[in-house]
Amino acid sequence: MKIAMLTSWQEACGIADYAAALVAALRARVEVEVVSLAHGQTEAAYFRRLAQACNRADLVHVQHEYIFFGKRTPWAYRWPDLIRALRVPYVVTSHTWLKPAQGGPGWKRSARRLRDALVRGTGWSAYLEAGQFKGAAGIITHTRAHRGFLIRAGLSGEKIQVLPQGIPAGFPRGVADRARRRWQLTGPVVTLFGFLNPAKGHELALAAWEQMPRDAVLVIAGRAFSERERDYARRLEQLARQKGERVRWTGYLEEPDLADLLAATDVVLMPYVHATASYALSLALATGRPVLASDLAPFREIRGEQA
């Protein structure tokens, strides 16, 4: 049996890292061909070519994230172009569910909210939430909460399997002193890391930091994942730098540098306002760092609580 794994690949992306671990495990049992999905593509022809490459396999496994398939409007969302061109069965790992527009004052946020309002309650909204997966032979989610969302949106629970994201193996052991010297960290260190977007609560953390002890330092590590979040990231960096020495802004860190930072961290902070799953949380748990996270269903599941 041959599986085509359609995914982001060998880039700074939690899904790419997840897919790499999955491919390595699957190759011990079956043949797997990776079909790399380049971020930022918007042409229908590109997705038809991806489908043609996938059709060489017996089964396609798609790592689905909305942003991989263009904008969420009927005329710019490319998932339908991909699916129409597939000639073999496919399964989907759904990494995110739809959330309302958040953050970033100005015309871009207003435009996203207008878009959401226009499609909410329409057939297109139902398609985006779950209808796009109805043709899949199987659907994988990482949490029971996500599975429940898809069932409420109209999918059959019989075809949805919950496979927890797991904890990455082999994440390097960092050296705390290196990070403390590099970023001049002398007191308690609280770290918020990962790609920057409004759903992760960075602004809440910065506002709350005024109430923290004066010797504590908040470290924000990350960057925008796509063009859509870059304005937000720039504004967030300005807010962070206004806090002076109490906040460190590192930008994106490669794995060895992130490992050093986490080794120097006393608490990992995740004040998310929305989450489906979190690769950043998995990395934090892999290092054994204590995590303070928002009271969200996916995080309660990790604690073993009923979602």
Give a three-class secondary structure readout of 230-288: HHHHHHHHHHHHCCHHHEEEEECCCHHHHHHHHHCCCEEEECCCCCCCCHHHHHHHHHC
Ordered DSSP codes for 54-98: HTTSSEEEEEE-GGGGB-SSTTTB-HHHHHHH--S-EEEEE----
Give the tokens for residue 107. Answer: 């015309």
Give the model's pLDDT for residue 169. 79
Give the tokens for residue 144. Answer: 């029971």
Contact 15, 48 (CB under 8 A): no
By CB atoms closer than 10 A (0-12, 13-18, 19+), residue 45 is exposed
CATH classification code of 176-302: 3.40.50.2000
DSSP state at residue 120: T
Nearest to 223 by CA among 246, 245, 243, 193: 193
Fold observed for domain 2-162 = Rossmann fold (3.40.50)
Amino acid at residue number 14? G
Ordered DSSP codes for 32-52: EEEEE--TT---HHHHHHHHH
Whole-number Å distance between alpha carbons of 17 and 268: 20
Three-state DSSP at 9 gives coil
Give the model's pLDDT for residue 307. 46
Whole-number Å distance between alpha carbons of 3 and 55: 10
Give the model's pLDDT for residue 185. 95
Whole-number Å distance between alpha carbons of 59 and 85: 14
pLDDT digits (tens), the chain, 307 positions: 999 999 999 988 889 989 999 999 999 999 999 999 998 899 999 999 999 999 999 999 999 999 999 988 899 999 999 999 999 999 999 999 876 555 545 555 555 566 565 555 568 888 999 999 999 999 999 999 999 999 999 999 999 999 998 888 778 889 999 999 999 999 999 999 999 989 999 999 999 998 999 999 999 999 988 777 888 999 999 999 999 999 999 999 999 999 999 999 999 999 999 888 888 998 899 899 999 999 998 899 888 755 4
pTM over 0.75: yes
Nearest to 262 by CA among 206, 185, 205, 200: 185
The ranges of the chain annotated as CATH 3.40.50.2000 are: 176-302
Nearest to 63 by CA among 29, 99, 26, 100: 26
The ranges of the chain annotated as CATH 3.40.50.11930 are: 2-162
Place of tokens 């797991």: 166
